[in-house]
Amino acid sequence: MLKTSKILLALSIALLLPTAVLADSGVVSSGKVELGVTGVGIDDDKARVSEYTDSRSEDGVNANGELDLNLDNGDGMTLDLAADINGGRDAKVEAVLDLHRAVKVNLDYTALRHQLDHDQLNYLDAAVVRGGMNKTTHEPVALTAVTPDLVPAFVLVDGATNTVIYGSDTGDFSSVADGVDDYVVQTGGASLYGEDLTPGDEFAITWREWKAGTELTIPSVPNLTFDVSFRKEHREGTEQSITSSKCASCHITGESREVDETTEDLKAGVTGKFGLLTLRYEFTDRKFDNNASDPSVNYDPVIKPGQPFDNKTFDNRMTYDYDDGSLNADTTPESEKQTHLLKARVDLANDTTLLGSYVNSEVESDKSDEPGIFTINRSTLVTNYDGYGLKATTRFGKLKLSAYGKLEEVESDNVDVEFQTITAPASPAAGATFDATNTGLYSSANESMISRDVLNAGVDVMYRLAKRSTLRLGYEYESEDREDEHFGETETNTFKAKLSMRPVKGISVRAGYTYQDIDNPFANPEAALVEVGDSRLQAKFGVPGYIVGGNSDLYGTQFYDDREADLSNQPDSVHEAKLATTWAPSPHFSATLTYRYKGEENDLNRSTWEQNTHSPGLSMWYAPNQKLAITAAYNYFDQRSETAFCQGFYDG
């Protein structure tokens, strides 16, 4: 629970300024100062109740204040100064100096602390430890029964009596199998569990921004305004870094990650007004620096994906595992970006406006490889963006019409990656690597997933039904054509309707409905589910065992090619409805009731993903006088996601 209290003292700015001096100099001043203290008490998880800290993140008291000052010399020179300080983690200071409307200088500083959530990763035990190991202590236990927290790695079924014997290895059956009616089946393993490596850490980012800008209008060319500005953003703190081991148990781990990032923008532009035409050109140079070190992870040992008997042919398809020690993860690369922006606006008669824009930007991002594991053919990736936009609005009596279109082209460098694969240990593939040449290197040309063409076009119609009623209808089409044919093209058709009305005095109603039909949303095709269709047997210790899947005894070789089910958490149909009604019986009181529903669904080829969201809310405002206002609000959020999926005989 979060408790906040404030004590404020308002003073006239005249008490702080030498009034006589200002009066003698002809400067007119006005403003106010508020001084006070803020107390905070937190009885529960601060990340839940105080996500954006408005004063301090721990229990205690600190000073706060607000300043609003205006100085005017009566000869075209003004200074506006505003400040709102609630400790060093929540502050905003702004100053504007205007010199005869020819030169305007802006200075701005903002600080804000964002308290981040800490995922305890205690909900990921979706399967259990296999092979006769206790789930919690990881100690060996006798396999006399199967419990929710304990399953064997293998089971032997006596076909004559239908009795089951449990074992952690096929060798456990050598003394009991008669080789006549018995067969062995491998069970599912511990495929998903989470581990929070830093359970006591608190995660938060302190965000600071400095901005300075100048606008200049030269009297000899009054239709041109030049401007230059500088912006610096600094993010500092810690956040949670989550990683997962590959081709082993899906071991999800969380640890602390240092954040120390700086973004600097230098911008220059000019705006020209030529009768009905207004032009704007702007150039921005941005640099992003990451001054924090990357977190490191020790990945779990690779596990072969599931032949009934010991076979390590899968190891030579891996590039790293536990034996490689600590490896960098969750890397944030540094980058530089340059952007050119050109805008044009034409104002015509009858409220007709034409807007056009062109944006060109180039981003250079630094990339690094991991010698001995993988190498890349370039240390810098370049991404180019071109955007073309056009919008027109006009009015015909009670009808207002808007039409727009936007074309975006994104091109990013492709990368050639060379992997150094692990050599297979003692097995039918001993000494071999995935590459047929046995050089230990496997090359792959990766086509950029960023490269794409995006077309967006639509029309909006607003019609005044009556004096206090307005109806808005809209349609939008979007096509996202990715260069990588594996992901294909996504087409979205969006239909929108919104009604605003005031049926009686003091009551207003706003209702809206949106429907989206999405063809081929972003997904991972054929990502899971291998059918168990192979009934051939493989004998060891005189016991026949079923091959779990694939068309080859080399289960790991064929498994991935045999997957059938598509996976996605993106919808192919969306229904969204919004309703808001406000009751304002007097100028001093109002109450607003809101409700939002969003239903999303994707009919995948082997399952269905759906997500439903309900969010009602109520807010009230009361102002008995000009100096006192009270606001109270309650919001409820309920979101449920569901997908039907089954984990069968598979571990790894």
* Those residues with Cβ within 8 angstroms of residue 397's Cβ, 6 or more apart along the chain or in another chain: none
- pLDDT of 86 reads 77
Q: How far apart are the first and last CA of the chain?
A: 43
Task: Identify whether 400 is part of a domain.
Answer: no
Task: Identify whether 612 is part of a domain.
Answer: yes
- pLDDT of 238 reads 95
Cα dist. 120→124, 291, 328, 341, 534 in Å? 10, 27, 22, 45, 41
Cα dist. 378→368, 639, 647 in Å? 9, 43, 40
**How far from chain centre, in Å, is Cα 301?**
30
Range of the domain at 560: 526-567
Task: Identify whether 212 is part of a domain.
Answer: no
Q: How would you label 447-473 residue by residue, b for 16+ Cβ within 10 Å and e otherwise? A: ebebbbbbebebebebeeeeeeebebe
Cα–Cα distance between 638 and 40 in angstroms, integer?
Answer: 29
* Residue-by-residue DSSP string for 91-141: EEEEEEEEETTTEEEEEEEEEEEEEPP-----S---S---SSB-TTT--B-
Q: Quick one: tokens of 379?
A: 């240390």
3-state class (DSSP) for residue 263: strand
| CA dihedral for 368, 371, 373, 377, sign (positive or negative) | positive
Residue 117: CB atoms within 10 Å: 12
Q: Tens digit of pLDDT for each residue in 2-22?
A: 444 444 444 333 334 444 444
- pLDDT of 391 reads 97
Task: Identify whether 617 is part of a domain.
Answer: yes
Angle 234-105-209 (CA atoms, 0-180°, nearest 5)? 10
C-beta separation of 529 from 606 below 8 A = yes
Q: Tens digit of pLDDT for each residue in 379-422?
A: 899 999 999 999 999 998 889 999 999 999 999 998 888 888 77
548 and 588, same domain (yes or no): no
Task: Identify whether 590 is part of a domain.
Answer: yes
C-beta separation of 377 from 416 below 8 A = yes
* Those residues with Cβ within 8 angstroms of residue 436's Cβ, 6 or more apart along the chain or in another chain: none
98 and 43, same domain (yes or no): yes
587 and 555, same domain (yes or no): no
Question: How many folded domains does the chain comprise?
Answer: 3
107 and 15, same domain (yes or no): yes
Q: What is the pTM of this model?
A: 0.77
**How far from chain centre, in Å, is Cα 203?**
17
Of 112, 145, 180, which marks where a domain is finished? 112
Task: Identify whether 547 is part of a domain.
Answer: yes
Q: Quick one: tokens of 230?
A: 């500088």
7 and 103, same domain (yes or no): yes
Task: Identify whether 249 is part of a domain.
Answer: no
C-beta separation of 253 from 194 below 8 A = yes
Cα dist. 587→52, 506, 584, 626 in Å? 31, 10, 7, 11
563 and 578, same domain (yes or no): no
Question: How confident is the chain (652 residues) per 10-residue block, as mean pLDDT?
Answer: 42 41 63 78 62 64 82 85 78 87 90 89 64 49 53 62 61 60 56 82 92 92 93 96 81 92 97 95 97 88 52 66 83 95 94 96 92 87 97 93 97 88 69 63 79 97 91 97 87 97 93 97 82 52 46 47 84 97 95 97 91 96 88 93 62 38
9 and 108, same domain (yes or no): yes
631 and 601, same domain (yes or no): yes
C-beta separation of 591 from 619 below 8 A = yes
Task: Identify whether 126 is part of a domain.
Answer: no
- pLDDT of 319 reads 82
12 and 83, same domain (yes or no): yes
Cα–Cα distance between 352 and 337 in angstroms, integer?
Answer: 35
Of 71, 94, 112, which marks where a domain is finished? 112
624 and 563, same domain (yes or no): no
Of 53, 87, 112, which marks where a domain is finished? 112
107 and 29, same domain (yes or no): yes
- pLDDT of 499 reads 96
Q: Tens digit of pLDDT for each residue in 556-601?
A: 445 566 778 888 889 999 999 999 999 999 999 999 999 999 999 9
548 and 577, same domain (yes or no): no
